[in-house]
Amino acid sequence: MKATRFYLLAALCLPLPSLAADEITFSADQMQTLGIATAALPPKQRGELAGMPAQVVIPGNQLFTVSTPLPAMVEQILVGVGDTVRKGQVLATLQSPALAEAQRGLLQASTQAQLAKENLARDEQLWKDGIISESRLRATRSQQMEANAALAERKQALKLSGMSDNAIDLLLSRNNLSSALSIASPIGGVILEKTASAGQRLDAAIPLFKVARLEPLALEIQVPLASVQNLKVGAAVSIPAFNAKGKLTAIGRSLSGSNQTILVRALIHEGAANLRPGQFVEAGIAAQGSAAAQWNLPNGALARMNKRTVIFIKTPNGFRAEAVAVVHEGAQSSVVTGTFKGNEHIAVRGVSTLKASAMGIGGMGEGE
Protein backbone atom coordinates (compact mmCIF):
# COMPACT_ATOMS: atom_id res chain seq x y z
CA MET A 1 0.00 0.00 0.00
CA LYS A 2 2.84 2.38 0.85
CA ALA A 3 4.57 1.53 -2.41
CA THR A 4 1.38 2.31 -4.35
CA ARG A 5 1.05 5.71 -2.66
CA PHE A 6 4.67 6.47 -3.42
CA TYR A 7 4.18 5.74 -7.13
CA LEU A 8 1.06 7.88 -7.26
CA LEU A 9 2.81 10.81 -5.58
CA ALA A 10 5.79 10.40 -7.88
CA ALA A 11 3.53 10.39 -10.90
CA LEU A 12 1.89 13.62 -9.73
CA CYS A 13 5.26 15.28 -9.30
CA LEU A 14 6.49 14.29 -12.77
CA PRO A 15 5.55 16.21 -15.92
CA LEU A 16 2.36 14.84 -17.42
CA PRO A 17 2.94 12.54 -20.41
CA SER A 18 1.70 13.85 -23.70
CA LEU A 19 -0.12 12.03 -26.48
CA ALA A 20 0.81 12.76 -30.06
CA ALA A 21 -0.58 10.65 -32.87
CA ASP A 22 -1.91 8.14 -30.31
CA GLU A 23 1.54 7.93 -28.73
CA ILE A 24 2.01 8.16 -24.97
CA THR A 25 5.30 9.90 -24.23
CA PHE A 26 7.30 8.64 -21.27
CA SER A 27 10.90 9.31 -20.41
CA ALA A 28 13.21 6.59 -19.15
CA ASP A 29 13.15 8.14 -15.67
CA GLN A 30 9.36 8.16 -15.64
CA MET A 31 9.26 4.52 -16.71
CA GLN A 32 11.65 3.52 -13.96
CA THR A 33 9.81 5.51 -11.31
CA LEU A 34 6.39 4.15 -12.30
CA GLY A 35 7.62 0.56 -12.55
CA ILE A 36 7.03 0.18 -16.29
CA ALA A 37 9.01 -2.70 -17.79
CA THR A 38 9.18 -4.01 -21.35
CA ALA A 39 10.09 -7.28 -23.03
CA ALA A 40 10.61 -8.43 -26.59
CA LEU A 41 7.54 -9.69 -28.41
CA PRO A 42 7.68 -13.51 -28.33
CA PRO A 43 8.24 -15.35 -31.62
CA LYS A 44 5.04 -15.77 -33.55
CA GLN A 45 3.43 -19.18 -33.83
CA ARG A 46 1.10 -20.35 -36.55
CA GLY A 47 -2.17 -21.96 -35.58
CA GLU A 48 -1.22 -23.00 -32.04
CA LEU A 49 -3.67 -23.14 -29.19
CA ALA A 50 -1.61 -22.20 -26.15
CA GLY A 51 -2.47 -22.11 -22.47
CA MET A 52 -5.00 -24.94 -22.66
CA PRO A 53 -5.86 -26.32 -19.19
CA ALA A 54 -4.83 -29.97 -18.95
CA GLN A 55 -4.22 -32.73 -16.43
CA VAL A 56 -1.49 -35.36 -16.49
CA VAL A 57 -2.86 -38.91 -16.26
CA ILE A 58 -1.52 -42.45 -16.60
CA PRO A 59 -2.51 -44.31 -19.80
CA GLY A 60 -4.97 -47.08 -18.96
CA ASN A 61 -2.76 -49.86 -20.35
CA GLN A 62 0.10 -48.82 -18.03
CA LEU A 63 -1.76 -49.04 -14.71
CA PHE A 64 -2.21 -52.35 -12.89
CA THR A 65 -3.96 -53.28 -9.65
CA VAL A 66 -2.38 -56.17 -7.75
CA SER A 67 -4.90 -58.06 -5.59
CA THR A 68 -4.98 -61.06 -3.26
CA PRO A 69 -5.85 -64.16 -5.32
CA LEU A 70 -7.00 -66.15 -2.24
CA PRO A 71 -8.10 -65.42 1.32
CA ALA A 72 -4.86 -64.85 3.22
CA MET A 73 -3.00 -63.03 5.95
CA VAL A 74 -0.34 -60.50 5.00
CA GLU A 75 2.95 -61.78 6.36
CA GLN A 76 5.35 -59.16 5.01
CA ILE A 77 5.23 -56.03 2.81
CA LEU A 78 8.47 -55.67 0.84
CA VAL A 79 7.92 -52.35 -1.01
CA GLY A 80 6.48 -48.91 -0.32
CA VAL A 81 4.77 -46.12 -2.22
CA GLY A 82 7.15 -44.52 -4.72
CA ASP A 83 9.46 -47.54 -5.00
CA THR A 84 10.60 -48.59 -8.46
CA VAL A 85 10.03 -52.31 -9.07
CA ARG A 86 10.94 -54.84 -11.76
CA LYS A 87 8.56 -57.16 -13.55
CA GLY A 88 8.25 -60.32 -11.45
CA GLN A 89 9.69 -58.71 -8.30
CA VAL A 90 8.02 -59.95 -5.10
CA LEU A 91 5.97 -57.17 -3.50
CA ALA A 92 4.55 -59.03 -0.50
CA THR A 93 4.36 -62.50 1.07
CA LEU A 94 1.09 -63.94 2.38
CA GLN A 95 0.04 -67.00 4.37
CA SER A 96 -2.98 -68.71 2.85
CA PRO A 97 -4.47 -72.05 4.00
CA ALA A 98 -6.57 -71.89 0.83
CA LEU A 99 -3.35 -72.15 -1.18
CA ALA A 100 -2.38 -75.39 0.57
CA GLU A 101 -5.87 -76.71 -0.15
CA ALA A 102 -5.51 -75.81 -3.83
CA GLN A 103 -2.13 -77.53 -3.96
CA ARG A 104 -3.64 -80.67 -2.42
CA GLY A 105 -6.31 -80.60 -5.09
CA LEU A 106 -3.61 -80.42 -7.77
CA LEU A 107 -1.82 -83.46 -6.35
CA GLN A 108 -5.07 -85.43 -6.27
CA ALA A 109 -5.86 -84.42 -9.86
CA SER A 110 -2.36 -85.45 -10.92
CA THR A 111 -2.78 -88.88 -9.29
CA GLN A 112 -6.16 -89.37 -10.96
CA ALA A 113 -4.74 -88.32 -14.34
CA GLN A 114 -1.86 -90.81 -13.99
CA LEU A 115 -4.26 -93.60 -13.02
CA ALA A 116 -6.55 -92.80 -15.95
CA LYS A 117 -3.55 -92.89 -18.29
CA GLU A 118 -2.52 -96.34 -17.04
CA ASN A 119 -6.10 -97.62 -17.28
CA LEU A 120 -6.35 -96.43 -20.86
CA ALA A 121 -3.06 -98.11 -21.81
CA ARG A 122 -4.29 -101.36 -20.23
CA ASP A 123 -7.72 -101.29 -21.89
CA GLU A 124 -6.21 -100.49 -25.29
CA GLN A 125 -4.12 -103.65 -25.03
CA LEU A 126 -7.12 -105.68 -23.83
CA TRP A 127 -9.20 -104.38 -26.72
CA LYS A 128 -6.49 -105.34 -29.20
CA ASP A 129 -6.51 -108.86 -27.68
CA GLY A 130 -10.29 -109.05 -28.05
CA ILE A 131 -10.90 -109.33 -24.33
CA ILE A 132 -13.01 -106.17 -23.84
CA SER A 133 -15.54 -104.41 -26.03
CA GLU A 134 -14.95 -101.18 -27.90
CA SER A 135 -17.55 -99.40 -25.77
CA ARG A 136 -15.50 -100.06 -22.63
CA LEU A 137 -12.42 -98.68 -24.38
CA ARG A 138 -14.31 -95.53 -25.31
CA ALA A 139 -15.49 -95.12 -21.70
CA THR A 140 -11.92 -95.51 -20.40
CA ARG A 141 -10.65 -92.99 -22.94
CA SER A 142 -13.36 -90.52 -21.84
CA GLN A 143 -12.33 -90.94 -18.20
CA GLN A 144 -8.73 -90.24 -19.13
CA MET A 145 -9.72 -87.02 -20.95
CA GLU A 146 -11.79 -85.86 -17.97
CA ALA A 147 -8.88 -86.52 -15.61
CA ASN A 148 -6.51 -84.48 -17.82
CA ALA A 149 -9.03 -81.63 -17.95
CA ALA A 150 -9.32 -81.63 -14.15
CA LEU A 151 -5.52 -81.57 -13.85
CA ALA A 152 -5.29 -78.60 -16.26
CA GLU A 153 -7.98 -76.78 -14.31
CA ARG A 154 -6.10 -77.24 -11.03
CA LYS A 155 -2.88 -76.01 -12.61
CA GLN A 156 -4.59 -72.91 -13.98
CA ALA A 157 -6.13 -72.17 -10.59
CA LEU A 158 -2.69 -72.23 -8.98
CA LYS A 159 -1.28 -70.00 -11.70
CA LEU A 160 -4.02 -67.48 -10.96
CA SER A 161 -3.02 -67.73 -7.31
CA GLY A 162 0.47 -66.54 -8.18
CA MET A 163 2.40 -69.81 -8.56
CA SER A 164 4.78 -70.03 -11.50
CA ASP A 165 5.08 -73.01 -13.86
CA ASN A 166 8.38 -73.95 -12.22
CA ALA A 167 6.80 -73.87 -8.75
CA ILE A 168 3.94 -76.08 -9.95
CA ASP A 169 6.35 -78.59 -11.51
CA LEU A 170 8.34 -78.63 -8.28
CA LEU A 171 5.17 -79.28 -6.29
CA LEU A 172 4.24 -82.23 -8.52
CA SER A 173 7.71 -83.74 -8.23
CA ARG A 174 8.16 -83.32 -4.48
CA ASN A 175 4.56 -83.37 -3.18
CA ASN A 176 5.52 -80.64 -0.71
CA LEU A 177 2.56 -78.44 0.26
CA SER A 178 3.09 -74.83 1.32
CA SER A 179 0.77 -72.04 2.47
CA ALA A 180 3.28 -69.28 1.60
CA LEU A 181 2.06 -67.10 -1.26
CA SER A 182 4.29 -64.55 -3.01
CA ILE A 183 2.70 -61.54 -4.74
CA ALA A 184 4.79 -60.36 -7.71
CA SER A 185 4.64 -57.20 -9.83
CA PRO A 186 3.08 -57.75 -13.28
CA ILE A 187 5.18 -54.96 -14.83
CA GLY A 188 8.25 -52.86 -14.28
CA GLY A 189 7.14 -49.53 -12.88
CA VAL A 190 6.47 -47.50 -9.74
CA ILE A 191 4.29 -48.31 -6.72
CA LEU A 192 1.54 -45.67 -6.61
CA GLU A 193 -0.62 -47.08 -3.80
CA LYS A 194 -0.26 -49.60 -0.97
CA THR A 195 -3.51 -50.55 0.78
CA ALA A 196 -2.46 -53.39 3.11
CA SER A 197 -0.12 -53.84 6.06
CA ALA A 198 1.59 -56.76 7.76
CA GLY A 199 -0.71 -58.90 9.90
CA GLN A 200 -3.87 -57.87 8.06
CA ARG A 201 -6.32 -60.62 7.08
CA LEU A 202 -7.78 -60.24 3.61
CA ASP A 203 -10.47 -61.87 1.53
CA ALA A 204 -9.87 -62.85 -2.07
CA ALA A 205 -9.66 -60.09 -4.72
CA ILE A 206 -8.78 -57.34 -2.21
CA PRO A 207 -6.40 -54.77 -3.80
CA LEU A 208 -2.89 -54.68 -2.33
CA PHE A 209 -0.95 -52.35 -4.65
CA LYS A 210 -1.31 -50.10 -7.67
CA VAL A 211 1.68 -50.31 -10.00
CA ALA A 212 2.15 -48.04 -13.01
CA ARG A 213 4.64 -47.45 -15.79
CA LEU A 214 5.14 -43.68 -15.89
CA GLU A 215 6.66 -43.28 -19.35
CA PRO A 216 5.00 -42.22 -21.52
CA LEU A 217 2.30 -40.24 -19.72
CA ALA A 218 -1.04 -39.08 -21.08
CA LEU A 219 -2.60 -35.62 -21.07
CA GLU A 220 -6.31 -34.77 -20.87
CA ILE A 221 -6.85 -31.30 -22.32
CA GLN A 222 -9.99 -29.14 -22.16
CA VAL A 223 -10.42 -27.31 -25.49
CA PRO A 224 -13.18 -24.79 -26.34
CA LEU A 225 -15.62 -26.09 -28.93
CA ALA A 226 -14.80 -23.29 -31.40
CA SER A 227 -11.13 -24.32 -31.44
CA VAL A 228 -11.61 -28.06 -31.95
CA GLN A 229 -12.34 -27.81 -35.68
CA ASN A 230 -8.69 -26.98 -36.43
CA LEU A 231 -7.28 -29.88 -34.41
CA LYS A 232 -6.30 -33.22 -35.88
CA VAL A 233 -5.04 -36.45 -34.36
CA GLY A 234 -1.25 -36.49 -34.58
CA ALA A 235 -0.84 -32.75 -33.98
CA ALA A 236 2.13 -31.69 -31.85
CA VAL A 237 1.41 -31.00 -28.17
CA SER A 238 3.77 -29.19 -25.82
CA ILE A 239 3.96 -28.24 -22.14
CA PRO A 240 6.46 -25.34 -22.22
CA ALA A 241 6.72 -24.92 -18.44
CA PHE A 242 8.00 -28.50 -18.05
CA ASN A 243 9.81 -28.95 -21.38
CA ALA A 244 7.54 -31.84 -22.38
CA LYS A 245 6.26 -32.75 -25.86
CA GLY A 246 3.97 -35.31 -27.43
CA LYS A 247 1.24 -35.99 -29.96
CA LEU A 248 -2.54 -35.64 -29.96
CA THR A 249 -4.09 -39.13 -29.86
CA ALA A 250 -7.86 -38.59 -29.58
CA ILE A 251 -10.50 -35.86 -29.87
CA GLY A 252 -13.70 -36.26 -27.85
CA ARG A 253 -17.15 -36.11 -29.35
CA SER A 254 -19.23 -34.83 -26.45
CA LEU A 255 -19.24 -31.54 -24.56
CA SER A 256 -18.65 -31.33 -20.84
CA GLY A 257 -21.72 -30.02 -19.08
CA SER A 258 -20.01 -27.49 -16.86
CA ASN A 259 -17.75 -25.46 -19.14
CA GLN A 260 -18.82 -26.55 -22.65
CA THR A 261 -15.38 -27.79 -23.71
CA ILE A 262 -14.22 -30.87 -25.59
CA LEU A 263 -11.85 -33.33 -23.93
CA VAL A 264 -8.87 -34.23 -26.13
CA ARG A 265 -6.09 -36.64 -25.19
CA ALA A 266 -2.39 -36.63 -25.94
CA LEU A 267 0.54 -38.93 -25.25
CA ILE A 268 3.69 -37.30 -23.85
CA HIS A 269 6.85 -39.11 -25.00
CA GLU A 270 9.47 -36.41 -24.41
CA GLY A 271 9.97 -34.91 -20.97
CA ALA A 272 7.48 -37.22 -19.21
CA ALA A 273 9.93 -37.53 -16.30
CA ASN A 274 9.30 -33.84 -15.53
CA LEU A 275 5.59 -34.48 -14.93
CA ARG A 276 3.58 -36.18 -12.18
CA PRO A 277 0.26 -38.05 -12.54
CA GLY A 278 -2.63 -35.84 -11.44
CA GLN A 279 -0.67 -32.63 -12.09
CA PHE A 280 -2.50 -29.66 -13.65
CA VAL A 281 -0.59 -27.90 -16.44
CA GLU A 282 -1.10 -25.58 -19.41
CA ALA A 283 -0.53 -27.17 -22.82
CA GLY A 284 -0.18 -25.91 -26.38
CA ILE A 285 -1.61 -27.73 -29.40
CA ALA A 286 -0.59 -27.12 -33.02
CA ALA A 287 -3.74 -26.36 -35.03
CA GLN A 288 -3.75 -27.78 -38.54
CA GLY A 289 -6.16 -25.54 -40.41
CA SER A 290 -5.24 -22.03 -39.31
CA ALA A 291 -2.70 -19.87 -41.09
CA ALA A 292 -3.17 -16.82 -38.88
CA ALA A 293 -0.06 -15.82 -36.98
CA GLN A 294 -0.50 -15.84 -33.24
CA TRP A 295 1.46 -14.70 -30.19
CA ASN A 296 1.44 -16.11 -26.69
CA LEU A 297 1.58 -13.09 -24.33
CA PRO A 298 1.52 -12.86 -20.54
CA ASN A 299 -1.84 -11.70 -19.23
CA GLY A 300 -0.13 -8.78 -17.51
CA ALA A 301 0.65 -7.29 -20.92
CA LEU A 302 -3.02 -7.03 -21.91
CA ALA A 303 -5.39 -4.16 -21.10
CA ARG A 304 -9.10 -3.59 -21.78
CA MET A 305 -9.88 -0.18 -23.25
CA ASN A 306 -13.13 0.93 -24.84
CA LYS A 307 -14.29 -2.71 -25.28
CA ARG A 308 -11.01 -3.54 -26.99
CA THR A 309 -8.04 -5.57 -25.85
CA VAL A 310 -4.80 -3.66 -26.39
CA ILE A 311 -1.12 -4.00 -25.72
CA PHE A 312 1.36 -1.15 -25.41
CA ILE A 313 4.25 -1.18 -27.90
CA LYS A 314 7.45 0.67 -27.10
CA THR A 315 8.27 3.59 -29.39
CA PRO A 316 11.29 5.92 -29.42
CA ASN A 317 9.42 8.45 -27.28
CA GLY A 318 7.14 6.23 -25.19
CA PHE A 319 4.35 3.78 -26.06
CA ARG A 320 1.45 3.37 -28.42
CA ALA A 321 -1.65 1.23 -27.87
CA GLU A 322 -2.21 -1.58 -30.39
CA ALA A 323 -5.48 -3.53 -30.53
CA VAL A 324 -5.28 -7.34 -30.59
CA ALA A 325 -7.80 -10.16 -30.83
CA VAL A 326 -7.75 -12.75 -28.03
CA VAL A 327 -7.93 -16.29 -29.40
CA HIS A 328 -7.65 -18.03 -26.05
CA GLU A 329 -7.24 -16.70 -22.53
CA GLY A 330 -5.33 -18.91 -20.09
CA ALA A 331 -4.57 -18.59 -16.40
CA GLN A 332 -1.09 -17.10 -16.92
CA SER A 333 -0.94 -16.21 -20.61
CA SER A 334 -3.23 -15.64 -23.59
CA VAL A 335 -2.99 -16.30 -27.31
CA VAL A 336 -3.66 -13.22 -29.47
CA THR A 337 -3.57 -12.24 -33.11
CA GLY A 338 -2.53 -8.84 -34.45
CA THR A 339 -0.46 -6.99 -37.01
CA PHE A 340 3.11 -6.98 -35.80
CA LYS A 341 6.47 -6.89 -37.52
CA GLY A 342 7.92 -9.25 -34.93
CA ASN A 343 10.71 -7.00 -33.58
CA GLU A 344 8.53 -4.94 -31.22
CA HIS A 345 9.02 -4.57 -27.48
CA ILE A 346 5.86 -4.51 -25.38
CA ALA A 347 5.05 -3.38 -21.86
CA VAL A 348 4.73 -6.34 -19.50
CA ARG A 349 4.65 -4.46 -16.18
CA GLY A 350 3.08 -1.14 -15.30
CA VAL A 351 0.39 -1.62 -17.98
CA SER A 352 -2.31 -0.17 -15.69
CA THR A 353 -0.34 3.09 -15.53
CA LEU A 354 -0.11 3.25 -19.32
CA LYS A 355 -3.81 2.47 -19.60
CA ALA A 356 -4.68 5.29 -17.20
CA SER A 357 -2.51 7.74 -19.14
CA ALA A 358 -4.03 6.75 -22.47
CA MET A 359 -7.58 7.01 -21.13
CA GLY A 360 -7.02 10.38 -19.44
CA ILE A 361 -5.21 12.10 -22.31
CA GLY A 362 -6.53 10.37 -25.38
CA GLY A 363 -10.19 10.49 -24.33
CA MET A 364 -10.58 6.74 -24.51
CA GLY A 365 -13.11 5.38 -22.07
CA GLU A 366 -13.03 2.06 -20.33
CA GLY A 367 -15.46 -0.43 -21.79
CA GLU A 368 -15.65 -3.06 -19.06
Residues 239 and 270 sit within 8 Å (Cβ to Cβ): no
Look at residue 366 in the predicted model and tell me its pLDDT.
Answer: 39
- Cα–Cα distance measured from residue 334 to residue 327, given in angstroms and rounded to the nearest whole number: 8
More confident call, 87 vs 317? 87
Asked if pLDDT for residue 290 goes beyond 70, the answer is: no
Q: pLDDT category, 1, cuts 50, 70, 90?
A: very low
For the residues of 313-337, what is the DSSP string, one character each? EE-SSEEEEEEEEEEEE-SSEEEEE
Whether 247 contacts 230, CB under 8 Å: no
* Helix, strand, or coil (residue 77): strand
Q: What is the mean pLDDT of residues 182-199?
A: 94
- Per-residue pLDDT for 142 more than 90? yes
Q: Give 53-95 pLDDT, tens digit per residue.
A: 999 999 999 999 999 999 999 999 999 999 999 999 999 999 9
> What pLDDT band is residue 7 in, cutting at 50, 70 and 90?
very low
Q: Is the dihedral of CA 232, 238, 239, 242 positive or negative?
A: positive
Residue 308 CA to residue 326 CA, distance in Å, equals 10
Nearest residue to 329 (alpha-carbon basis) of 305, 353, 347, 304: 304
Which residues share a beta bridge with 164? none
Residue range 333-352: mean pLDDT, rounded: 84
Tell me the C-alpha to C-alpha distance, in Å, between residue 349 and each of 9, 31, 142, 241, 244.
Answer: 19, 10, 88, 21, 28
17-21, 120-124, 243-247: least confident range: 17-21
List phi, psi (to 5°) of 126.
Answer: -65, -35
Please report which confidence band the pLDDT of residue 245 belongs to, taking 50, 70 and 90 as the band edges: very high
Judged against a pLDDT cut of 60, whether residue 4 lies above it is answered with no
Residues 107-127, mean pLDDT to the nearest whole number: 94
Predicted pLDDT of residue 44: 63
Whether the pLDDT of residue 198 is over 70: the answer is: yes
With 0.85 as the threshold, say if the pTM is over it. Answer: no
E strand intervals along 330-366:
333-337, 345-349
Strand partners, 53: 282
